[in-house]
Chains A and B, each alone.
Chain A
Amino acid sequence: MEFGLTEEQRDIQTMTRDFARERIAPRAREWDREHVVPMDLLAELGELGLLGVCVPEEYGGAGADYLSFILVIEELSRADAGVGVAVAVNTSLATLPILEFGTQEQKQVWVSRLASGEVLGAYALTEPGSGSDAASIVTSARRDGDGYLLNGAKQFITNAGFAGLFVVMARTGPPGSGAQGVTAFLVDAATEGLALGREEEKLGLNSSSTRGLVLENVRVAESARLGAEGEGFVIAMKTLDGGRIGIAAQAIGIAQAGLDTALAYAGQRQQFGQLIADFQAIQWKLADMDKDIDAARLLTYRAAWLKMSGLPHTAEGAKAKLFASEMARRHTAEAVQVLGGYGYTKEFPVERYYRDAKITEIYEGTSEIQRLVIARELLKS
């Protein structure tokens, strides 16, 4: 067993941490309050190579490993969870499925642009009537000459406001054909008939764009189909298997930010004539945060290691995401508690961490779905 990071992983982690601390964290409060998606920052991330961390060099990426990507998501999310998820979605849910399931042509057309940030990617599976029950989607893709016509609506699409590419799951089979009738498509955002819904007003994650999509006779060529007809659900689920590890890392970053703030505050705040860090009541909170963040890291890094070693990681990714997201929600609440009344105000960032953490229990598979995934793997044998 080897628990240490390689020199390269550590250098990437250090650079991202420095960058996030100096360039992202100081602006996060304003982005949250003003609901701003920091496009200038995303461009900067592209220049640094952070939008294509684990994309091979031949496709314009940095050529680092998957664990490095996970470390990057964690460090970015520690400064701003909305920035973290923008990067996680661009790589996990748009770039990696093209690398895994795409044709040579699709890789040439899209991957280097996604890795550099010239184009950002989004993933459109969820629909107004289809969330956890993803196999029930009704957006249709009907054969039309040498291509397809897409019709339907998608909901809660992260990165939608600025994405240049949508990975869209649509039904090529007859209505009610379930998982077998789903096909994946790479849809250029500029395609006629594709319109965006309004920006959702959310509890948190205000620096992230979340919008619906309306597809009205959106015509795509056959070359835009990702994988075979009917393979879309498998592609969607395999993509989420990896995506979840990224969300686990996002949750860890948020929780770590909560601990950082609580620790600093407890070391300065005096009550009853002593630092509150000297009270066991506070020490226990801090110790539990640190312990659970560590446990989440170990689960998450293991899942990342399995993925980059080409080993099965469905249940391990689900465990990491489930544990990390619930831990983040619980401990960001504890961080607010450590800061007391100050923690409840927007003068301190912990209330933002608390609001941001909640989404990690919902998107890319709710906690309930993660338990289902784990139980299924458990009962398989």
Chain B
Amino acid sequence: MQTVVLVKQVVDTEAEKRLLPGEWRLDRASVENILNPYDEYAVEAAVQLKEELGGEVTVLSMGPQEAEEAIRKALAMGADRGVLVSDPVLQGSDALATARVLAQVLRGLGFDLVLCGSMSTDAQTGLVPAALGELLDLPVLGAVNRLEVHGGSLKAARQTDEGAIVYECPLPAVVAVAKGINEPRYPSLRGIMGAKKKPLDTKTAADLALELGAVGLGGARTRVHAATSVPPRAAGKTVTEYESPQEGARLLADFLHENKLV
């Protein structure tokens, strides 16, 4: 079983995020960066499949050199090797351009399954899995919260409000897992110590013979034109003067009705 997990390094979800003025890209230098929390579910799912079926887990990421740290965490969790695509010309890639780069790497790797998180916590588009499926002509399943692999096919379930929908599809395939499919493990100390000894290849755009017009800012089909901060919340209303609890409750209910909140 050869699984490739796509991961992204994102700014710490607890940190206060800032945009670089004029560029509308996240300022990654000023904050801690972590492995995208949604990707941890994909890494865990891949490691569990390896523990069950054997094989190898490759972690693939595109990003600045520091994204190595996110890959290393996945290696510490039990993945076997990492590939980082890092090149300044790739800066500004949107979801489609990113998918093009990742697809090119995947073409060069043998794999049975591509696993990814449902989205990154920074851009939150969730588009990469679908774009990859299109570029590689592979089936794509999203929001998967149960996953089994039997021989050359997989069975995946997706939870909806009405119930679970179970899909089967042949391998290879691209699967985006939902938060909650598993409980990602903490890397053990032995895992952390061993992660540094695992192979991690860094590739440039030239290594991948990428068509430069199709990647980076130039290859992006979308562009961020502006960003605005969420306006600070207006002060709420506190009900302090009332004759009885009933009257207090009525005043609260009136407020909710007046503001069409109920």
Which A residues have a C-beta under 8 Å from some C-beta of B? 7-8, 11-12, 15, 18-19, 47-50, 52-53, 57, 62-64
Contacts and interface: CB of A to CB of B under 8 A. Distances in A.
B196 A50 contact: no
A11 B188 contact: no
Interface residues of B, number: 12
B190 A62 contact: yes
A52 B72 CA distance: 22
A48 B192 CA distance: 10
For A12, A18, A47, A48, which residue has the most chain B Cβ atoms within 10 angstroms?
A48
A230 to B, nearest CB: 37
25 contacts: A8-B196, A11-B72, A11-B73, A11-B187, A11-B192, A11-B195, A12-B189, A12-B192, A15-B187, A15-B192, A18-B186, A19-B186, A47-B188, A48-B186, A48-B189, A49-B190, A52-B189, A53-B189, A57-B190, A57-B193, A62-B189, A62-B190, A62-B193, A64-B189, A64-B193
Contacts, number: 41
A11 B194 CA distance: 12
B175 interface: no
A48 B76 CA distance: 11
Name the 10 nearest CB pairs between A and B, nearest first.
A49-B189, A62-B189, A11-B192, A49-B188, A48-B188, A19-B186, A49-B190, A62-B190, A15-B187, A12-B192
The listed residue with most A CB atoms (<10 A of its CB), out of B76, B186, B188, B192, is B192
A38 to B, nearest CB: 16
Contact of A63 (B76, B187, B193): B193
B51 to A, nearest CB: 15
Most chain A CB within a 10 A radius of its CB, from B76, B189, B192 = B189
A18 B32 CA distance: 13
A18 to B, nearest CB: 7
Contacts of A49: 188-190
Contacts of A63: 190, 193
Contacts of B72: 11
A52 B188 CA distance: 11
Count chain B CB atoms within 10 A of each CB in A18, A52, A62 and give the residue with the most: A62
A8 B188 contact: no
Given A62-B193, A63-B193, A11 B76 contact: yes
Contacts of B76: 11, 15
